[in-house]
Amino acid sequence: MNIYFNQEHQTFRNSVRQFIQSRVLPEAPIWEKQGKIPRSIWREMGELGYLGINFSEKYGGSEADFFFTVVFLEELGRSGFGGFAAAITV
């Protein structure tokens, strides 16, 4: 039992990890060389609820707790692509 992360956090972690493995890792070297991430990835991440995690639903966010952000940042770090992680978290 983890006092910080519950089953919802783990489900979110699995979702983010799968997204990064299937959608980011195959293309990230190209994006790093180009210095940009395609808008389609930004849109997809937004639709999946990965952007604006802590923001109010009123502003398009998820109103999720802080630990969802921790999970998201941990999984971005696992990607190994600093440019991608930095762009997404700014």
Please report, for the domain that includes residue 26, its CATH number.
1.10.540.10
Q: Is residue 33 part of a domain?
A: yes
pLDDT of residue 75: 96
pLDDT of residue 1: 65
How many structural domains compose the chain? 1
Which residue from 78, 67, 63 is spatially nearest to 18, judged by alpha carbons? 78
Q: Is residue 1 part of a domain?
A: no
Split the chain (90 residues) into runs of 10 and give each run's mean pLDDT.
90 98 96 94 94 89 92 94 89
Q: Which domain holds residue 11?
A: 7-89
Tell me the three-class secondary structure of the chain, residue by residue. Answer: CCCCCCHHHHHHHHHHHHHHHHHHCCCHHHHHHHCCCCHHHHHHHHHCCCCCCCCCHHHCCCCCCHHHHHHHHHHHHHHCCHHHHHHHHC
Predicted TM-score (pTM) of this structure? 0.89
Which residue from 79, 90, 80, 64 is spatially nearest to 11, judged by alpha carbons? 64
Q: Is residue 2 part of a domain?
A: no
